[in-house]
Amino acid sequence: MRFSDIHMADDTVRALAGMVDSGKVPHALLFHEEDGGGAVPLAVAFLQYLYCRNRHDGDSCGECPACNKVGKLIHPDIHFIFPLVLSSGTLSVNYSAEWRSLVLGRPDFSEGDLYDSLGFEGKNTVIGKDEIASLLRTLNLNSLEGGYTSVLIYLPEKMNPVAANKLLKVLEEPPQKTQFVLVTHAPEKLLPTILSRCQMVRLKPTGVGTVLRYDDGGLLTSLMDALIARDLPAALAVGEQLADLPSRDNARAFCRFAAEKIRRVFLIQQGLASLAGDDADVAAWAGKCRKTFPRKALEILDRTDGRIARNVNLKILFTDLVDRMFLNI
């Protein structure tokens, strides 16, 4: 999978290629995408460029043995980790065939697409301690082909606390020639200490992501305007409109859409406005709400999304959402 095979901003590709060309590759890269934003194929293209023996003109050759293995997701020194329904002995490597089929067949796949392909739709998924423990044992061995050993972790925010702390230890003192690439939808859910050890690459929306294509009919803007104005009755009226959305899928889509917008507020408030995209509403909200609001709001939206999936009454859920966000704005 070459850089030229994927649809990604040229400046992002040049920056990644420049890291390799200069010999200054951070040991841990964190790609922040919107759901379905194409970060996984970009990560694979980056690793192919890293492993390629004949790279030229800012891209891998696509023909050498290393390119062939990386492009087919079968290189023995590249390991993939993603969320699973946990059971005894369950590891990502047991689902390698399904992972390869998804990534190669549908590069702009979403989180939901992954769970559909694994048969996990509607189930609780996590990256557990056994997964990271197995990874650490692998990293203690020499690479099979004498070069880099690489790890691509899809949705590291799904790690449970034990797994996250195990990963943190290896990120603090990584083995020589070990390359981590993490792909996240929610960097605010990662341990701050993990974030501090990664170089973040924010992938700007390209129009292929699934989240921001959702049309909420202006409900989020109305809700945020009411919250910022401290107008609780108006905010509750928006909550009633949300409770009347046509389906639970639509209600969950709103929660994910709102979460992506609030993440952009978080980025602006952290001094990373260039990564947040050009959104006048988001910029206005960032200047008017507390700096503690984005993290709290994202917790509330995540909680609401999960309870919608469990068939809790929508009116109760969205009334509670409005009330909690009003207290934290």
Tell me: do 224 and 132 sit in the same domain: no
Please report whether residue 196 resides in a domain: yes
Among 173, 202, 231, where does a domain finish? Answer: 202
Say how far apart CA 62 and CA 59 lie, in whole Å.
8
CATH code (residue 185): 3.40.50.300
Tell me: do 154 and 230 sit in the same domain: no
At 35 the pLDDT is 85
At 212 the pLDDT is 60
Tell me: do 54 and 180 sit in the same domain: yes
Give the range of the structural domain holding residue 239, as residue numbers without chain letter.
Answer: 219-328
Tell me: do 105 and 78 sit in the same domain: yes
Please report whether residue 209 resides in a domain: no
pLDDT tens-place string over residues 52-104: 999 999 999 999 999 999 999 999 999 999 999 987 568 999 999 999 999 99
Please report whether residue 130 resides in a domain: yes
Tell me: do 184 and 239 sit in the same domain: no
Is the predicted pLDDT of residue 192 greater than 80, yes or no?
Answer: yes
CATH code (residue 276): 1.20.272
Please report whether residue 212 resides in a domain: no
- Domain count of the chain? 2
Among 142, 170, 202, where does a domain finish? Answer: 202
At 209 the pLDDT is 44
Please report whether residue 124 resides in a domain: yes
Who contacts 225 (Cβ-Cβ below 8 Å, separation ≥6)?
Answer: 234
- Dihedral sign computed on CA atoms, order 118, 120, 124, 130: negative
Burial of residue 211, with CB atoms counted within 10 A of its CB: 0-12 exposed, 13-18 middle, 19 or more buried:
buried
Residue 207: band (very low, low, confident or very high) from pLDDT cuts 50, 70, 90? very low
Instruction: Please check whether residue 61 is in contact with residue 18, taking contact to mean a CB–CB distance below 8 angstroms.
Output: no
Tell me: do 226 and 185 sit in the same domain: no
Tell me: do 176 and 255 sit in the same domain: no
At 309 the pLDDT is 78
Please report whether residue 240 resides in a domain: yes
Please report whether residue 268 resides in a domain: yes
